[in-house]
Structure 1
């Protein structure tokens, strides 16, 4: 009997347009997403480099781009957050312990909050017992330690917990620890289809 659900954020609640960021960076002179972009992104997602150092690192790779241009391209990934998903979550929060666990950075969260407005994002965050962003806790999926962190902090029982994420490496990692999982297929499934999955 599942009594707890851990959700990813991007492409589960907020729609992402990953191509928009790639296209935006290409317009600024990026020929390919290289290992340096990857390194900066991973460090920023775990809070190991500052907002300024992250942007300076990108600017070094894109010498003709302004910080404003880079921010615009970086934030282009954030698309809409349909209200029906929030309403579904509010309904779920009356019956289950809910947690949010997202690999993200401070720029994206600040932008989401600014774009959606305080009443929307407050309503969203209030659905959860606790919201965990990788840049705040210094841990990210698919590493087992991030799941262990939640288990220990909230005395979770993996066999009574469902983890929902669109990335297979993340759900595989959770499954290895005994969690129930739903590897949601973006574009084919929606989080509001949860009860159709017969997992709960």
Structure 2
């Protein structure tokens, strides 16, 4: 019997547009994503650097780009958040303990909240007992301590907790810790099919 559900955010509720971000950065002169940018991104996602340091880190590889252009390109990955997903979440919030656990950064969350508006964002966040963003807690998936942090903070029983994420690395670690998992495939699955696919009876 499932008592709690931990949801990822991007490509679970909020659609992500990876093609757009690739296109926008190519326009600024970035030929390929590389290890230095990956490290920079991960530091920003766990709050070890602030937005200015992050953007300036990018600018080293894009000397002709303004910081505002880099910020716009970075945010171009954020797509739509269909209302029906919020309505689904509101429906199940009365039946389960819900949590949000997302690898994300201040820039993306600020843009998301601005784009959907304060009311929509508030309605979304209020569905959860607690919202966990990696940049606020200093931990990111798939580090097992990220999951333990949520489990221990709320005294969750892993065997009665479902974790929903689109990244198999994340769901594999969660499964090793005893959580039930659903690796959602963007473009194939929709989070609202949680019951249709018999993920939860």
- Does TM-score exceed 0.5, indicating one fold? yes
CA distance in 2, matches of 1:12, 1:151: 20
Matched residue, 1:170: 170
TM-score by length of 2: 0.98
Matched residue, 1:189: 189
| Matched length | 200
Deviations 1:33-55 (A, max 9, x none): 01111011000000011111001
SS at the partner of 1:195? coil
Pairwise CA distance, 1:196 = 1.3
CA distance in 1, matches of 2:2, 2:165: 17
Pairwise CA distance, 1:18 = 1.1
Matched residue, 1:77: 77
CA distance in 2, matches of 1:193, 1:26: 36
CA distance in 2, matches of 1:34, 1:52: 20
Cα RMSD of the aligned pairs, angstroms, is: 0.6
Pairwise CA distance, 1:197 = 2.0
Is there any run of 5+ residues in structure 2 with no aligned partner, and where? none
Pairwise CA distance, 1:19 = 1.5
Deviations 1:145-198 (A, max 9, x none): 000001110000000000000000000010000000000011011000000121
Which 4+ runs in 1 deviate beyond 3 A?
none
Matched residue, 1:89: 89
TM-score by length of 1: 0.99
CA distance in 2, matches of 1:23, 1:137: 31
User: Is 1:6 aligned to 2:9, yes or no?
Assistant: no
Matched residue, 1:28: 28
CA distance in 2, matches of 1:111, 1:40: 19
